[in-house]
Amino acid sequence: MDMFIKIMFLVVFFAVMIGVGIYCRKQATDVNGFVLGNRSVGPWLTAFAFGTSYFSAVIFVGYAGQFGWRFGLASTWIGLGNAVIGSFLAWRILGRRTRVMTQHLDTATMPDFFYKRYNSKALKVTASVIIFIFLIPYTASLYNGLSRLFEMAFGIPYTYCVIAMAVLTGFYVVLGGYMATAINDFIQGIIMLGGIVAVIVAVLNINGGFNETIALLSQQSAVLPSGTEFKGAYTSFFGPDIFSLIGVVLLTSLGTWGLPQMVQKFYAIKSEKSINTGKLVSTVFALIVAGGCYFLGGFGRLFGKMGEDGIKPVGGYDSLIPSMLENLSPVLIGIVVILVLSASMSTLSSLVLTSSSVLTIDFIDPVFCAKQSLSEKKKVLLMRVFIVFFITVSAVIAVIQVKSPVLFISQMMGVSWGALAGAFLAPFMYGLYMKKVPKIAVWINYLIGVGISIASFVCNLTGVKFDNAVLEYFKSPINAGMLAMVLGIVITPLIALITPEKDTDRIEKIFSCYKRKVTVSTIKSMDDVEVK
């Protein structure tokens, strides 16, 4: 009976996702429809698409487990940072300008934006290669967290879980494109909101409720680098390691500003007016989902045992959240599985759609079809083929990666986020606001983002240890990614100051989109004015 309940949850969920894909297939016949939903997606769908693409099994299982173990309840600050910086400020600072300028330039992807904003095909092609390379490990990390929960709930081997998730996601994305993804994200987002609240309440009740659970966690102590014992470290305001905590908050929050699959949501929103509604909905969503995930992860030390290395728990960080849930009722386990399945599939669909569109529009078409551009039908067909390709490659990597003792979930995501956000955040943000951003500044950002992330990856892969505390701190993929973003934000305007202005007429035409005047009737213009 218990297994029947869990299976019924899955059957209903899968049926809805497939149904949405079939329903949306007519809107995915050309590039604009397949990639952007014809730029007609409303604020609620866009806000949920933004949130569900943001938070996946990587957050729920990987990050919540690792950082909850390291920082205790202070890891909740990560969720709050995700809501304020990663959602509210992202919408406030990037939303309107992205929507207006990308429509004005007629761009559908981030590399295409760089091409038309900075007048460089080389920047476009290079950006597409960076996205192609670094979105794959991010995509692979999604399977890992989800499949661990499937093994716990159903006893299904990891490989079969990966195959099932890949096939289902590929089906509705290939069929319905962005609109199918957006509608499914909305449904999946509702499941995530209800599911995380139910799971937190159930987990706290295992130890007798909120107060009792806090009391147990307060008995855990940490040993600081100085050798001092910090009693109650994991219930303290900023936890045992505030500097590492800041690095995580910045990478996971500010990083969304430079991720192509995130900012692309602003391209597709229906209108400028929808930005304000979407901003509020997205922020509340992040507060509940991200705040809830990291708050739950903060109790990880009550459910895991310290490993022999004295740092990580037995079974690794990725085993903590599943261990919290394994003794819940069948109904709650079913809810959890659907919750994480929703989070993972929504992010996976966004990633593979971004990867396939970038590879087709920004690499294959300009590089191999320079003399005669591909037709709309051929581009859409090619994107569908690449969706299958990306899903297959990432699934294979996921199966191989689970046996690796080095790269657990958060490391894989950290490398990807660091490279992408480090390379793209500054040139994208400043490109929306500053007229004088030279091409050389964009190239330097590419080098900083990719270079620092690869250096961090190699250091961790080879097990290099640094005597210097600063180098050891930035060896972490999380801290390395944070460093790459901050360097880009600081260096770009400095380069602009010492670089002569060029191509001013073209830049003025680009920025003219923000000066467009709209004339409305008196009645319409008074709609939002309070009459006294």
Give the pLDDT score at 74.
Answer: 92
Q: Which residue has the tokens 């599939």?
A: 345
Query: Which tens digits make up the pLDDT trace of 347-366?
Result: 888 888 888 888 888 888 77
| Confidence (pTM) | 0.84
pLDDT (average), residues 415-430: 91
Of 216-230, 296-310, 433-447, highest mean pLDDT: 433-447
Instruction: Kindly state the tokens that stand for 269.
Output: 């929103």
Query: Which tens digits make up the pLDDT trace of 499-511?
Result: 888 888 999 999 9
Give the pLDDT score at 370.
Answer: 62
pLDDT for 463 beyond 70: yes
Q: What are phi and psi of 286, to 5 degrees?
A: -65, -40
The answer to whether residue 431 sits within a structural domain is no
Residue 173: how many CA atoms within 13 Å on its side-chain side? Answer: 30
The answer to whether residue 117 sits within a structural domain is yes
123: left (phi over 0), alpha (psi -120 to 50) or beta: alpha
Give the pLDDT score at 406.
Answer: 46
Domain that holds residue 110: 2-402
Give the pairing type, strands 221-223 and 229-231. antiparallel
Instruction: Kindly state the tokens that stand for 149.
Output: 């929960």
Give the pLDDT score at 134.
Answer: 86
Give the pLDDT score at 43.
Answer: 86
Shortest CA distance to 142 belongs to which of 456, 389, 391, 476? 391
The answer to whether residue 202 sits within a structural domain is yes
Distance CA 240, CA 190 (A): 34
Of 144-153, 252-261, 432-441, highest mean pLDDT: 432-441
Give the pLDDT score at 448.
Answer: 94
**Residue 387 belongs to a domain with what CATH number?**
1.20.1730.10
Give the pLDDT score at 439.
Answer: 93
pLDDT for 408 beyond 60: no
pLDDT for 489 beyond 90: yes
Answer with the residue of higher pLDDT: 97 or 310: 97
Distance CA 226, CA 422 (A): 32
Of 29-43, 137-151, 384-398, 438-452, highest mean pLDDT: 438-452
Distance CA 337, CA 71 (A): 25
pLDDT for 425 beyond 90: yes
The answer to whether residue 206 sits within a structural domain is yes
Query: Which tens digits make up the pLDDT trace of 213-233?
Result: 899 888 888 777 666 778 888
pLDDT for 77 beyond 50: yes
CB 256 within 8 A of CB 86: yes
Give the pLDDT score at 239.
Answer: 84
CB 193 within 8 A of CB 55: no
Q: In the chain, what percentage of residues exceed pLDDT 70?
A: 90
Distance CA 396, CA 392 (A): 6
Q: Which residue has the tokens 């507060």?
A: 287
Q: What are phi and psi of 467, to 5 degrees?
A: -75, -30
Q: What are phi and psi of 221, to 5 degrees?
A: -125, 155
Give the pLDDT score at 146.
Answer: 64
The answer to whether residue 212 sits within a structural domain is yes
pLDDT for 523 beyond 50: no
**Looking at 36-40, 301-305, 424-428, 464-468, which range is the least confident one?**
36-40
Give the pLDDT score at 423.
Answer: 94
> Number of folded domains in the chain?
1
Give the pLDDT score at 84.
Answer: 95
CB 262 within 8 A of CB 54: yes
Query: Which tens digits make up the pLDDT trace of 174-218?
Result: 888 888 888 888 888 888 888 888 888 888 888 888 889 899 888
pLDDT (average), residues 119-129: 92
Confidence of residue 530 (pLDDT cuts 50, 70, 90): very low
pLDDT for 403 beyond 70: no
The answer to whether residue 298 sits within a structural domain is yes
Q: What is the mean pLDDT of the chain?
A: 82
Host H or E run for residue 102: helix 96-105
Give the pLDDT score at 7.
Answer: 76
Confidence of residue 493 (pLDDT cuts 50, 70, 90): very high
pLDDT (average), residues 66-87: 92
Give the pLDDT score at 153.
Answer: 65
The answer to whether residue 446 sits within a structural domain is no
The answer to whether residue 315 sits within a structural domain is yes
Distance CA 176, CA 390 (A): 17
Shortest CA distance to 287 belongs to which of 98, 54, 46, 45? 54
